[in-house]
Amino acid sequence: MVIFKARAHWRTLAAPALVTIVLIVLGFVLTLQRLRLDSVPHYGAIIWGLIAIGWVAGGLIPFLKWLMSTDTLTENQLRSDEGIISRQSTTIPLERVAATNVERSALDRVFRSGTIQVQTAGSDSTVELWRVPQVLKLEAMINEQVKRYKAAGGPGD
């Protein structure tokens, strides 16, 4: 059963949105300049082609990464999935969670987001979930689920 599922905070998309807006404005400005530069062949196609490449790199790919990345808390594990074409998943069984820490900058506090560090027993000492929305709520939910899981004696009990 899924208890909490979220993507990185929406403010992660601020830079890609700004890149998109700047490139569109730049495209229109340079297209208007084309009236003065009619001697350059295919000027409009070259400009819009370069802008499209910049938009894919600076706007579309970061948006798709945000869209395809999720953090999920279930009754017995914490899972982080990311990747556009090839997917990478990190799964932490609740039985291995030793502690959680939250890091929040001033901007994170304004947006109620932050980074959760999940310390685990074993070889992977710390796993970080970046720019999590409602970070304090998720940390409390993780700690509550760990307590419930350990009180129940683990899976199947």
* Interval 23-75: pLDDT, tens: 999 888 887 776 665 666 777 788 889 899 999 999 999 999 999 999 999 99
Lowest mean pLDDT segment, chosen from 14-28, 32-46, 79-93: 32-46
Average pLDDT over residues 129-154: 89
pLDDT of residue 113: 94
Nearest to 35 by CA among 27, 23, 44: 44
Among candidate residues 62, 65, 78, 67, the one with its CA nearest the CA of residue 16: 62
**Residue 75 · residue 16 · CB < 8 Å:** no
Give the residue carrying structure tokens 């959680």.
Answer: 100
Confidence of residue 123 (pLDDT cuts 50, 70, 90): low
129 SS3 class: strand
Written as six digits, the tokens of 47 are 């400009």
CA neighbours within 13 Å on the CB side: how many for 84? 8
| 72-151: CATH topology | PH-domain like (2.30.29)
Mean pLDDT of 93-106: 93
Contacts for 19-23 with beta carbons within 8 Å, 24 or more apart? 19/54, 19/55, 19/58, 19/59, 20/55, 20/58, 20/59, 23/51, 23/54, 23/55, 23/58, 23/59
Which segments of the chain does DSSP mark as H helices, in order?
14-33, 43-55, 61-68, 106-111, 135-151
